[in-house]
Amino acid sequence: MQKGISPALDQTNQTKFDVAAVTAKALGMTIAWRPLSDSRDVDVDALFTSILAKGDQALYVVFDPLTIRAQKRIADLAISNKIPAVYEIRDYVISGGLLSYTYLRAQNFERAAVFLDKIFKGANPADLPVEQPTKFELVINRKTAKAIGLGIPDKLLAIADEVIE
CA distance 99 to 144: 9
The gap from C-alpha 136 to its chain's centroid, in whole angstroms, comes to 13
Q: Which CATH architecture has domain 34-100+137-164?
A: 3-Layer(aba) Sandwich (3.40)
Whole-number Cα distances in Å, 58 to 11, 29, 85, 125, 137:
23, 11, 6, 41, 21
Residues 6+ apart with CB under 8 A from 6: 35
pLDDT value, residue 3:
41
Q: What's the pLDDT score for residue 161?
A: 95
Domain borders along the chain are: 34-100+137-164
* HSE-CB for 52 with a 13 A CA cutoff: 12
Measure the CA–CA gap between 105 and 88, rounded to whole angstroms.
11
pTM: 0.78
pLDDT of residue 36: 75
Q: What is the pLDDT along the chain (165 residues), one digit of tens a residue?
A: 344 334 556 787 788 888 888 988 998 888 888 877 666 556 888 889 988 999 888 888 888 888 888 889 999 999 999 999 999 889 999 999 999 998 888 888 888 899 999 999 999 999 999 888 888 999 999 999 999 999 999 999 999 999 999
CA distances from 13 to 7, 82, 157 (A): 12, 25, 28
